[in-house]
Amino acid sequence: MNSIRTLLEQRTSVNHFDTRRPVDEAQITELVRLATLSPSAYNFQNWKFIAVRDAAAKERLKAAAYGQQKVVDAPVTFIVCGTLNAHRRLAQVLQPSLDAGILNADVVKAWVSMAQGSHEGNPQLQRDEALRSASLAAMTLMLAAQDQGLVTGPMSGFDPAAVAQAFGLTADEVPVMLVTVGYAADGNWAQKPRRAVREVLEVV
């Protein structure tokens, strides 16, 4: 078992993956299960994960990711999407929380109304929310993978329109990050130094 501090201090963004070691579907499912324990506004759960592991699919993704080889070398790359118009599905998404007695009907009604009021007709807020939820989930997925002895390579360097076309995303599905997952080969960078905390933190 690894402490989260250890996971964070050991995590690096990996470019070189062992091409011989697979990641199986049970691992993929568990990573996504854990990723979806991340929070989202109103518990929207406005995310979708596409696990790319078939050879032909990897080539399609590589082409949409400016030819980055790690997409082919890694056993799996997740296209982590945030979804737009999440407010329209909110009542349905919260039904299990209502059924479980965690949220009451008044809270659900209020949230659906608030989300409708702020998100309907507000594409920038919807996009921000898609970015937020997908990024929160991607971070969790990376740490969960690290805990399983896997390494990860987060990427925002890809052509979103090309990814959308190559994988048949709907107009509501925004590809936010790619996360390659597998086992490290040689030649990866050490963790890069970070700015001093005093440069990025203000206490008031």
Using CB under 8 A, which residues numbered 55 to 94 contact a second copy? 57, 93-94
- Closest approach, Cβ 120 to a second copy, in A, equals 16
Chain positions 4 to 63 lying near a second copy, rule: CB under 8 A, are 4-5, 7-9, 11, 13, 25, 28-29, 32-34, 36-39, 41, 43, 45, 47-54, 57
- Least gap, CB of 150 to a second copy (angstroms): 12
Q: In whole angstroms, give the CA distance from residue 125 to residue 107.
A: 22
How near is the Cβ of 183 to a second copy at its closest, in Å? 18
Q: Which of 18, 59, 147, 172 binds a second copy (CB under 8 A)?
A: 147
Chain residues 171-200 in contact with a second copy, contact rule CB under 8 A: 176-177, 189-195, 197, 200
| Cα 76 → chain centroid | 13
SS3 of residue 103 by DSSP: coil
165 is an interface residue for a second copy by CB under 8 A: no
Binds a second copy by CB under 8 A, chosen from 156, 161, 165, 170: 156
Beta bridge partners of 79: 50, 178
> CB of 58 within 8 A of CB of 72?
yes
Q: Does 135 bind a second copy (CB under 8 A)?
A: yes
Given 63, 74, 97, 106, the residue binding a second copy (CB under 8 A):
97
Number of chain positions touching a second copy (CB under 8 A)? 72
Joined tokens for residue 101:
């007695």
Least separation, in Å, of the C-beta of 201 and a second copy? 5
In whole angstroms, what is the distance from residue 110 CA to residue 34 CA? 28
Q: Are 84 and 174 in contact (CB under 8 A)?
A: yes
Sign of the four-CA dihedral 70, 71, 74, 78: positive
34, 43, 31, 135: which is closest to 82 by C-alpha? 135
By CB under 8 A, residue 162 contacts a second copy: no
CA atoms within 13 A on the CB side of 190: 2
Which is nearer to a second copy, 20 or 92 (by Cβ)? 92
